[in-house]
Amino acid sequence: MARSQLTAPTFSFSLPQLSRALTGFAQTAQIWRTRSAGRRALKGLDAHLIADVGLTHREINQEAAKRFWQA
């Protein structure tokens, strides 16, 4: 029985393209983390601080209810 030979996979993209893609993903993940943290912080504000930033409780709740990928 003949032995099959293993060959390295070939890719149709270059290293710079992969680097750009990974960098873009990392930047997107950072934006998502920042949004999530900001929305958690909004939920923790008391009435005095909410009034100071000029938002209503309804606006706070609407923003806090958004998913991390939603702008």
Summarised one tens digit per residue, pLDDT across range 2-59 is: 566 777 777 677 778 889 999 999 999 999 999 999 999 999 999 999 999 899 999 9
Structural domain includes residue 17: no
Structural domain includes residue 38: yes
| Structural domain boundaries enclosing 42 | 27-71
Please report the sign of the dihedral spanned by the C-alpha atoms of residue 67, residue 69, residue 70, residue 71. positive
Structural domain includes residue 7: no
How many residues are given for the chain?
A: 71
The structural domain count of the chain equals 1
Q: Is the pTM of this model over 0.85?
A: no
Alpha-helical (H) ranges within 3-70 are 15-43, 47-53, 57-64
| pLDDT at residue 7 in the model | 76
pLDDT greater than 70 at residue 1: no
Structural domain includes residue 33: yes
| pLDDT at residue 4 in the model | 64
Cα separation of 14 and 22, whole Å? 13
| pLDDT at residue 15 in the model | 78
Structural domain includes residue 5: no
